[in-house]
């Protein structure tokens, strides 16, 4: 009896994390009339100076194109200052950024992306600070839409939509991002988003937080700003485009690095501590973040308990076949270009990266502050 409870609880939590939670969000936001429609309106931007800070480490392949992309934004040029924060680049990033027309190029010692962004914010003074990665290319009106959204009552942080391209090697990150953006839009309409994206976001200067260099702003800013009484939202019409890692193996490498510091964020830095959250935001954090990040262990528990229950009836034979079928499809997905197999391979690999990231954290005893580019994303 106890094994059956554990098995079905694990299965239900897996299904809830990936399917149940979005459906509950959809029902709640539809019922309460809180679905986020602000992004559908054309922005009317007030004259607000903005500093656009671009983090870069050895980005000579793309930095000229990125600066040109920033200069081409339709936001009033006299109000926009482009800042490149080079984090210990050893190539021509600094030289090329200056030649391309960046207003300020900071040649900083290697300290990690967050440390570079913190220093850049200290050396700027605009009331709005926007951030981008060197390989994220914004649509022309993206800045206007971010700034317009920051004028909303209580809004201190706004993240745009990242569209990914590539993946000819089988990576299904694009499918995941479409799912994630749909969930993020519903969260934005309820209590606020639980994570952002480093490619395109903006913050009111007074709300900017100097995070520890070992932390990521993507997952750190939204919940920290929420705890301080601000609101973190998603603006789907502020669009940036990036190239994804072409292969699932490359995506695993990227996700593994991200997950290295995940449990520090949740436990050491307080994501799971509900103090400062509204009940709705706590519901989002525990459903979306904790639920998603527990899935590797939930899958393992479900597999082990299912094996122990095989003699308890035909139902458990069916559930074991389904679990083994997922693993078999994932194994085939590495070699067979059949979409269901590719999706299974992506899902199993990315889910495994959460567990491997925790192992890396335990083994190393610390979270690294540097970042390395994944091949094929530039």
pLDDT digits over 307-363, tens only? 999 989 999 999 999 999 999 999 999 999 899 999 999 999 999 999 999 999 999
Q: Which of 147, 120, 268 is nearest to 204 (CA)?
A: 147
Residue 35's pLDDT band, with cuts at 50, 70 and 90, is very low
List Cβ neighbours of 16 (8 Å cut-off, separation of 6 or more).
287, 291
Beta carbons of 160 and 177 less than 8 angstroms apart: no
Q: Which of 17, 11, 18 is nearest to 303 (CA)?
A: 11
- Reported as a pLDDT band with limits 50, 70 and 90, residue 368 is confident
Q: What is the pLDDT of residue 371?
A: 65
Residues 6+ apart with CB under 8 A from 24: 287
Sign of CA dihedral 336, 339, 344, 349: positive
373, pLDDT greater than 90 = no
**Would you state the pLDDT for residue 174?**
85
pLDDT at 236 over 70: yes
Taking Cα atoms as reference points, which of 19, 104, 90 lies closest to residue 60?
90
Q: What is the pLDDT at residue 326?
A: 97
Confidence at 169, pLDDT banded by 50, 70, 90: low
CB 146 within 8 A of CB 200: yes
Q: Is 172 helix (H, G, I), strand (E, B) or coil?
A: coil
Q: Is 233 left (phi over 0), alpha (psi -120 to 50) or beta?
A: beta
Residue 188: per-residue pLDDT:
94
What would the pLDDT profile of 71-86 be if each residue is shown by its tens digit? 999 999 999 999 999 9
How wide is the angle at C-alpha 146 spanned by C-alphas 143 and 152, nearest 5°?
Answer: 145
CA triple 23-26-27, angle to 5 deg:
90
- Answer yes or no: pTM beyond 0.85: yes
pLDDT band at 38 (very low <50, low <70, confident <90, very high): very low
Classify burial at 325, counting beta carbons within 10 Å of its beta carbon; exposed 0-12, middle 13-18, buried 19 or more. exposed
- Measured CA to CA, the distance from residue 244 to residue 163 in angstroms comes to 9
Do the Cβ atoms of 238 and 142 come closer than 8 Å?
Answer: yes
Q: How confident is the model at residue 66 (pLDDT cuts 50, 70, 90)?
A: very high
Q: Which residue reads 């960046």 in tokens? A: 102
Pairing of strands 80-87, 50-56: parallel
List of domains in the chain: 38-246 (3.90.550.10)
Confidence of residue 141 (pLDDT cuts 50, 70, 90): very high
Q: Which pLDDT band, with edges at 50, 70 and 90, does 369 fall under? A: confident
| Banded pLDDT at 190 (limits 50, 70, 90) | very high
């Amino acid at each position: 009896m106890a094994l059956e409870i554990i098995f079905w609880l694990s299965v239900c939590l897996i299904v809830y994390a990936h399917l149940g939670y979005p459906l509950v969000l959809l029902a709640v936001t539809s019922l309460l009339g809180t679905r986020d429609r602000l992004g559908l309106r054309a922005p009317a931007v007030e004259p607000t100076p903005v500093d656009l800070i671009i983090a870069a480490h050895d980005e000579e392949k793309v930095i000229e194109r990125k600066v040109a992309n920033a200069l081409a934004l339709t936001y009033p040029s006299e109000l926009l200052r482009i800042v490149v924060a080079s984090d210990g680049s050893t190539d021509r990033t600094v030289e090329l950024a200056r030649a391309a027309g960046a207003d300020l190029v900071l040649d900083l010692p290697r300290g990690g992306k967050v440390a570079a962004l913190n220093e850049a914010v200290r050396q700027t003074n605009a009331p709005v600070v926007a951030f981008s990665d060197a390989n994220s290319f914004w649509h022309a009106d993206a800045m206007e839409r971010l700034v317009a959204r920051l004028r909303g009552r209580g809004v201190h942080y706004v993240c745009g939509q990242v569209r990914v391209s590539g993946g000819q090697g089988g990576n299904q990150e694009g499918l995941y991002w479409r799912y994630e953006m749909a969930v993020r839009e519903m969260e934005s309409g309820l209590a606020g988003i639980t994570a952002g994206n480093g490619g395109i976001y903006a913050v009111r200067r007074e709300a900017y937080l100097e995070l520890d260099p070992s932390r990521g702003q993507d997952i750190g800013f939204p919940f920290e700003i929420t705890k301080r009484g601000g609101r973190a939202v998603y603006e789907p019409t502020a669009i940036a485009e990036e190239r994804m890692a072409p292969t699932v193996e490359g995506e695993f490498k990227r996700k593994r690095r991200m997950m290295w510091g995940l449990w520090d964020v949740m436990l050491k830095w307080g994501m799971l501590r509900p103090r400062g959250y509204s009940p709705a935001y706590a519901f989002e954090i525990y459903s979306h973040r904790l639920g998603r990040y527990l899935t590797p262990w939930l899958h393992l528990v479900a597999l082990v308990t299912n094996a122990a229950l095989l003699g308890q009836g035909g139902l458990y034979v069916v559930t074991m076949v389904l679990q083994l079928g997922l693993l078999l499809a994932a194994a085939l997905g590495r070699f067979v270009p059949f979409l269901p197999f590719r999706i299974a391979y992506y899902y199993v690999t990315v889910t495994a990266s959460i567990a491997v990231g925790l192992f890396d954290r335990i083994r190393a005893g610390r979270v690294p502050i540097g970042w390395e580019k994944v091949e094929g994303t530039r």
